[in-house]
Amino acid sequence: MKSRLKLILLALLALPMFVQANEGMWLVSLLNRVNEAEMKNLGLNLTAEEIYSINNASLKDAIVRLNGGQCTGEVVSDKGLIFTNHHCAYDAIQSLSTVQNDMLTNGFCAKSMNEELPIPGFEISFLVRIEDVTKTILDGITADMSEADRTAAIQGKIGQMAGKAAEGGKYEAEVKSFFYGNEFYLFVYSTYRDIRLVGNPPESVGKFGGDTDNWMWPRHTGDFSMLRIYADKDNNPADYAADNKPYAPKHFLPVNINGVEEGDYAMIMGYPGTTDRFLSSWGVQQALDLTNPATVEVRDLKLSTMKKHMDADPAVRLKYAAKYASTANYWKYFIGQSKGLKRLNVYDKKQKQEAKFADWAAKDPSRQAEYGKALDMIKAYYDATNATAKSNVYALEAGLIGSDLTLFAFRFARTFEAAMKETDETKRKAILDNFKGQAEDFYKDYDMQTEKDVFAALTKLYRTKISADQRPTWMSTIDAKFKGNEAAFTEKMFATSFLVSKEKLMAFLDKPSQKVFDKDMAVMVGKSAIEKYRATFANDAQDKFDTGYRLFVKGLREMNPDKAYSPDANSTMRITYGQVKNYTAADAVNYDYYTTTKGIMEKRDETNPEFVVPNRLAELINKKDFGKYANSKGELVVCFIADLDITGGNSGSPTIDADGNLIGIAFDGNWEAMSGDIAYEPELQRTIVVDVRYVLFIIEKLMGGKNITDELKYAKRPMRPAATQDLGAAVPPAPQAPTPPPAPAPAPAPVSSPKKAPAKK
């Protein structure tokens, strides 16, 4: 025992002092200097080069960004097959469904590639490379520049750099700010546009538990779907064409169906959207008191109004299914976030950190000169915006995006005004004709009566909750011409606007009239809504706020030189790593690390749409017809949890084992750690993953997709040792010899080769 403790101590001393376990969404290009040693000690059998490389096939070449960062997916075959979440493809599935062929409800599985369905407008991007461009971007930027001048200078450089990296449209390129403008990185992507739906489970599987189970553990949701990337004959991106070929990837993930046990190494690579880990105590207080409650209030009303129409008409239910799910997801998220912030005393923890920072800065004249006013600048912003923070939420949630018609009206107004500025009649007509495609997409999922009721309900709430001086200008018309009657205004707008139906808009586009445009009530609302929303960003404290945060984050990192801070998520590829692990949610509430099909049957309730279990699935479960997907106990694992750090955008991310194999698909966080985007809590924070064995069981046994499971490559791993890993130990048993990723399928020369010599949700 003493010798074991001595080994553990030596291993701890050998680790870089700045590494902290588990917390962090790390840039994949920086693993060598930050995290590789700790990942190895947790059990990783790969090198940093095998995870991210620009010259050789690596794990990053199997990780894809969906639609600019809305979700993540992974390549799982040499024929461009993609796994992601059911809710990530939900909108696409809904758009391909009809009342007569409701694939959303009933599921879909292509038995051959000829049956795969093109998804218009869907894009999948591969990261080509990441480049640290901080020195170039900040060259010539001085401390005495105003924030406006600094921003303008930086944006100019970013535009030039991204334009050059795009190579005339061959790639997509963007420069992202990190650590509040202290660092900058260039990301280059190759984007594929011919994407086809391969399959999705019935909604009763893919969304089992619905809003009730959303963000909750234990979970029994088969949240997956399948897509395929198609390319031209040279394996390059191309628009849809019948003769396009399945994409040949540089790397794809083999599937491990040996399962996971507590303590196993696990990691996720993906595209997390946004976190706010450097948020101040004043920001936490504003969220708790003002912005979170307002967001929940607006979305609650919107959900109940939509659901009334969805329950009454199957066609409306199908049209609004994706919109409802998206609205509900973050409605519940903000409820949970507020509870978590309070329960974990995040405000007090932030205050202590700020007090420590102020004390550190004050102890040195040079530090005081640079950082002494940073916190005051941040506080001044919140003091200035607390009075309008709630109205800002309403400007967005109830004004601009509350009703689909309002946002559509703004987009149309922007297009029409651009067209009318065009002196060439042919070009003007082309601009307006081009908008017809957007209109087709909009009205496909539009129901006039639903929109009318949503608009009226949110308008009334907006006017009730927000004082007249903070409302958008169009609301004064309700008082002036409709005696304060929101319903009367709504009736008049929907009776007269040419935007309320596809037929009326198309007729207008064929014979556009500036006079008719100027008088249209929906146009007036849309333009006023965007003006009010944009105005929420215009305040005298904004520039000082930006300066203050940049200095605070810079100083915080300087104050703690032995701590590695991961940058806030910003829809760029990140990696998070840890272990499969259970947790204690509250006093006497202990959760195991996995769930099984037993829980599906325990939750089954045929009177509740959220907990319906298809008869065929129930039959398979009752017979325990799990085949090779059962664990050693004869159970079929549905989901498992690991202490990984994710956020929205990571939906669909692969959960990968120590050898680079797929063990599951991440799809959610847990309720007790909903404050995690602001404050990471290692004892509580868990990622919920659908086990790949359950995914393959559903594909093969329920969906009849053996053609798909046969397409995959299955990992070969050694038998587990008889003794299980000691979770209390700092160092796990010695890992197996590193196993490199499998050789890539034949493909053209990597487009990532440098020309001179890029994760509920």
Query: Could you report the per-residue pLDDT of 720-751, keeping only the tens digit for each?
Result: 443 333 333 333 333 333 333 333 333 333 22
CB of 688 within 8 A of CB of 668? yes
Which burial class, exposed, middle or buried, applies to 205 when counting CB atoms under 10 A from its CB (0-12, 13-18, 19+)? buried
Is position 156 within any domain?
A: yes
3-class DSSP assignment, residue 187: strand
pLDDT of 761 reads: 44
pLDDT of 6 reads: 36
Task: Clarify whether residues 179 and 131 are in a common domain.
Answer: yes
Phi/psi of residue 601, nearest 5 degrees: -70, -30
Is position 743 within any domain?
A: no
What is the total count of domains within the chain? 2
Task: Clarify whether residues 423 and 318 are in a common domain.
Answer: yes
3-class DSSP assignment, residue 197: strand
pLDDT of 12 reads: 32
Task: Clarify whether residues 166 and 75 are in a common domain.
Answer: yes
Is position 570 within any domain?
A: no
CB of 646 within 8 A of CB of 274? no
Task: Clarify whether residues 482 and 336 are in a common domain.
Answer: yes
Q: CB neighbours of 93 closer than 8 A, spacing ≥ 6?
A: 86, 103, 104, 108, 197, 200, 225
CB of 704 within 8 A of CB of 202? no
- 129: enclosing H helix or E strand: strand 124-132
Classify residue 729 by its DSSP letter: -
Please say whether the dihedral angle defined by the alpha carbons of residues 654, 657, 662 and 667, taken in this order, is positive or negative: negative
The two tokens of residue 711 are: 């397409």
**Cα(83)–Cα(51) distance, integer angstroms:** 19
- For helices 486-496 and 448-465, the axis angle rounded to 10 degrees is 150
**Cα(661)–Cα(629) distance, integer angstroms:** 16
CB of 761 within 8 A of CB of 333? yes
Last residue of a domain, which of 535, 564, 582? 535
**Cα(247)–Cα(250) distance, integer angstroms:** 10
Measured CA distances, 591 to 204, 207, 486, 581 (Å): 24, 22, 49, 9
Task: Clarify whether residues 116 and 230 are in a common domain.
Answer: yes
Q: CB neighbours of 501 closer than 8 A, spacing ≥ 6?
A: 443, 448
Task: Clarify whether residues 519 and 412 are in a common domain.
Answer: yes
Is position 17 within any domain?
A: no
Residue with tokens 């650590």: 179
The two tokens of residue 10 are: 């030596």
Phi/psi of residue 201, nearest 5 degrees: -70, 165
Q: Work out the angle at residue 164's Cα, subtended by the Cα atoms of residues 163 and 169, and round it to the nearest 5 degrees.
A: 65
Task: Clarify whether residues 193 and 294 are in a common domain.
Answer: no
Instruction: Give every residue of the chain whose pLDDT is below 70, as ranges.
Output: 1-22, 717-761
Residue with tokens 């607006």: 298
Q: CB neighbours of 546 closer than 8 A, spacing ≥ 6?
A: 147, 151, 180, 181
Q: CB neighbours of 104 closer than 8 A, spacing ≥ 6?
A: 90, 93, 94, 97, 200, 203, 318, 321
Q: CB neighbours of 358 closer than 8 A, spacing ≥ 6?
A: 375
- For helices 147-165 and 542-559, the axis angle rounded to 10 degrees is 70
Is position 405 within any domain?
A: yes
pLDDT of 22 reads: 61
Task: Clarify whether residues 199 and 288 are in a common domain.
Answer: no
Q: CB neighbours of 361 closer than 8 A, spacing ≥ 6?
A: 367, 368, 370, 371, 372, 374, 555
**Cα(357)–Cα(376) distance, integer angstroms:** 12
Displacement of CA 521 from its chain's centroid (Å): 35
Task: Clarify whether residues 439 and 521 are in a common domain.
Answer: yes
Q: CB neighbours of 251 closer than 8 A, spacing ≥ 6?
A: 57, 58, 59, 61, 62, 75, 741, 742, 744
Task: Clarify whether residues 236 and 291 are in a common domain.
Answer: no
pLDDT of 499 reads: 97
Task: Clarify whether residues 201 and 293 are in a common domain.
Answer: no
**Cα(252)–Cα(78) distance, integer angstroms:** 7
69: left (phi over 0), alpha (psi -120 to 50) or beta: left
pLDDT of 18 reads: 37
Pairing relation of β-strands 81-84 and 71-75?
Answer: antiparallel
Mean pLDDT across the chain, nearest whole number?
90
Helices (H), 177-291: 203-206, 210-213, 281-286
> pLDDT by residue (tens digit) across 122-178?
999 999 999 999 999 999 999 999 999 999 999 999 999 999 999 999 999 999 999
Please say whether the dihedral angle defined by the alpha carbons of residues 52, 54, 60 and 65, taken in this order, is positive or negative: positive
CB of 84 within 8 A of CB of 71? yes
pLDDT of 727 reads: 32
Q: Across 42-123, where does the E strand assignment appear?
A: 63-66, 71-75, 81-84, 108-109, 117-118
**Cα(88)–Cα(64) distance, integer angstroms:** 13
| Neighbouring-strand partners of residue 187 | 130, 174
3-class DSSP assignment, residue 108: strand
CB of 329 within 8 A of CB of 761? yes
**Cα(416)–Cα(432) distance, integer angstroms:** 7
3-class DSSP assignment, residue 75: strand
The two tokens of residue 378 are: 């941040």
- Tell me the residue type at 82: I
Name the residue range of residue 166's domain. Answer: 59-217+225-246
pLDDT over 90 for what percent of the chain?
A: 86
3-class DSSP assignment, residue 87: coil
CB of 504 within 8 A of CB of 370? no
**Cα(172)–Cα(158) distance, integer angstroms:** 13
Which of 726, 722, 384 shows the shortest CA–CA distance to 536? Answer: 384
Measured CA distances, 352 to 111, 346, 561 (Å): 59, 10, 19
Which of 94, 118, 123 shows the shortest CA–CA distance to 200? Answer: 94
Displacement of CA 573 from its chain's centroid (Å): 11
| Neighbouring-strand partners of residue 65 | 72, 125
- For helices 425-444 and 404-420, the axis angle rounded to 10 degrees is 170
Is position 624 within any domain?
A: no
Is position 164 within any domain?
A: yes
Classify residue 466 by its DSSP letter: S
Instruction: Give the residue numbers annotated as catalytic, written as ranges.
Output: 87, 223, 651
CB of 83 within 8 A of CB of 652? yes
The two tokens of residue 241 are: 């064409």
Is position 106 within any domain?
A: yes
**Cα(256)–Cα(718) distance, integer angstroms:** 11
CB of 761 within 8 A of CB of 689? no
**Cα(212)–Cα(599) distance, integer angstroms:** 15
Task: Clarify whether residues 417 and 520 are in a common domain.
Answer: yes
